Amino acid sequence: MPAIRHLYFHIPFCPKLCPYCCFYVEVGAKNKTRGFLDALLREVEVAARGHELKPTTIFFGGGTPSALLADQLAYLFDGLRARLDLSALEEFTLEANPATIRADKARVLREGGVTRLSLGVQSWDDALLKTLGRVHTAAQAEKTVGILRDAGFDNLSIDLMFSVPGQTAEQWRATLDKTIALQPEHVSSYCLTYEEDTEYFRKLTGGQFKQDDEHDAQLFETTMDVLASAGFAQYEISNYARPGRESQHNRAYWLGADYLGFGPSAFSTVGTDRWENVRDTAEYTRRVMAGENLVGFTEHLSPDTRRGEIAAFAMRTSEGLSAADLAPWEKSVAHFLAIGLLIEEAGRVRLTQRGKLLADAVAAAFV
Ligand SMILES: C[S@@+](CC[C@H](N)C(=O)[O-])C[C@H]1O[C@@H](n2cnc3c(N)ncnc32)[C@H](O)[C@@H]1O
Ligand code: SF4
């Protein structure tokens, strides 16, 4: 069996639930215990018995991994080092909320081997941060960037969200300009999605919030123009990097590599098997420690489904796909080429600028 090269760790704790968020998270410190950390490490031990684990990338996501205390993070990093062969590790990303980083924690992250910080800034406008229910201010986020730079991090990514209710084109432009001025190596810029079972979704269906596709498209086009002018390459529909600073972990997902996920609600995909751990931290911890099955959901993908899924993800990247890879969808591809949403160049088919605005519709043709 080939080695698994990409590991994801779901840390489900957040200081506060953001009203637009649909990730599995827990607010407060109830389960933020040593027991949970031991369960994560035990899950790694068990996985290492069934698979060769030699990660080139590790991603701590959530939730908010930076919500763990400095000594909890150090305990986890030491535990991972004791259980995993990290000799091939090239990228170790951790997602952080700006309100949760102080100099001592930044030092622990650095010493623990984290190479890349993904900072959830979302906006540099305090009024919009309030609308988003964020626990940090713009000034706090800027200070956090400084703390991380001082700690020696040379690979910072900033997460932003556009089409926030009430956000004007000028506010978005100012957020992009401020981001560029801080010189991150990477920017992820997401159009707000109204996810079911969130407060935002209820406000949308209740008529308090309105969606405006034209405004969304305008902000997205501004993003692409402004970040391109500042030297960021859009290597995936929502992701922009300085040369050589693309997220290797995310690229591996998009190109269809196998990965294992650890922690509650974490997904794994190996070949055509996909499963998700139970979405309950206490239950997850109990099951790991009792040696019980952790899987809350599992599916076996047909090879065609998996191929379609990989094509849909790869089509969102700047490399696109070879014409040969696209043979099963020849008709749809010909249609998208004819109407100018796809372009073929040097044997690769990829989204045009107009196609990027309709990327979801194009991707849907493959799945
Ligand atoms: C899993 S979150 C983790 C980051 C961290 N917990 C935080 O919020 O600072 C990763 C990113 O997804 C984006 N995101 C979360 N919910 C979203 C939504 N409903 N629509 C668009 N982007 C979203 C945000 O930009 C967020 O920083
Ligand atoms: S957006 Fe981030 S901080 Fe907010 S609830 Fe979701 S995971 Fe937690």
Domain count across the chain: 2
Q: To test the ligand 2 pocket, which listed residue (97, 140, 160, 199) has its Cβ within 8 A of the most ligand atoms? A: 97
Give the ligand 1 atom nearest the CA of 161: 25
Residue 118 CA to ligand 1 centre (angstroms): 11
Question: Are residue 230 and residue 114 in the same domain, yes or no?
Answer: yes
Tens digits of per-residue pLDDT, 69-79? 999 999 999 99
Q: What is the pLDDT along the chain (367 residues), one digit of tens a residue?
A: 789 999 999 999 999 999 999 999 999 766 578 999 999 999 999 999 999 999 999 999 999 999 999 999 999 999 999 999 999 999 999 999 999 999 999 999 999 999 999 999 999 999 999 999 999 999 999 999 999 999 999 999 999 999 999 999 999 999 999 999 999 999 999 999 999 999 999 999 999 999 999 999 999 999 999 999 999 999 999 999 999 999 999 999 999 999 999 999 999 999 999 999 999 999 999 999 999 999 999 999 999 999 999 999 999 999 999 989 999 999 999 999 999 999 999 999 999 999 999 999 999 999 8
Same domain? For 95 and 243 the reply is yes
What is the Å distance from ligand 1's center to 203 Cα?
18
Give me the pLDDT at residue 267, please. 98
Span 4-25, pLDDT tens digits: 999 999 999 999 999 999 999 9
Q: What is the pTM of this model?
A: 0.97
What the block records as the tokens of 239 is: 């992701």
Task: Say yes or no: CB of residue 190 within 6 Å of ligand 1.
Answer: yes
pLDDT at position 29 is 65
Q: Which domain holds residue 322?
A: 317-364
Ligand 2 centroid to Cα of residue 161, in Å, is: 12
Distance CA 54, CA 35 (A): 25
244 and 355 in a common domain: no
Is 260 within a domain?
no
Cα 211 to averaged position of ligand 1 atoms, centre (Å): 19
Q: CB–CB of 113/90 below 8 Å? A: no
Residue 267 lies in a domain: no
Q: Identify the residues whose C-beta falls under 6 Å from ligand 2.
A: 14, 17-18, 21, 23, 25, 62-64, 97, 120
Whether residues 248 and 334 fall in one domain: no
Note whether 214 and 339 are same-domain residues: no
- Closest-CA residue, ligand 2 atom 3, reads 14
Rounded to a whole number, what is the largest CA-CA distance in the chain? 58
Residue minimizing CA distance to atom 2 of ligand 2: 63
Could you tell me if 125 and 175 are in contact, meaning their C-beta atoms sit under 8 angstroms apart? yes
Q: Are residues 58 and 164 in the same domain?
A: yes
Q: Which atom of ligand 2 is nearest to the CA of 134?
A: 4
Residue range 358-367, pLDDT digits in tens? 999 999 999 8
In a domain, 11, yes or no: yes
Task: Look at residue 30 in the predicted model and tell me its pLDDT.
Answer: 63
Q: Is residue 81 part of a domain?
A: yes
Angle formed at CA 117 by CA 191 and CA 52, multiple of 5 degrees: 105
Last residue of a domain, one of 213, 233, 254: 254
Which of these, 298, 297, 281, 299, lies nearest to 43 by C-alpha position? 281
Strand order through the sheet with 91-96: 233-236, 239-241, 186-191, 156-162, 116-122, 91-96, 53-62, 4-11, 260-262
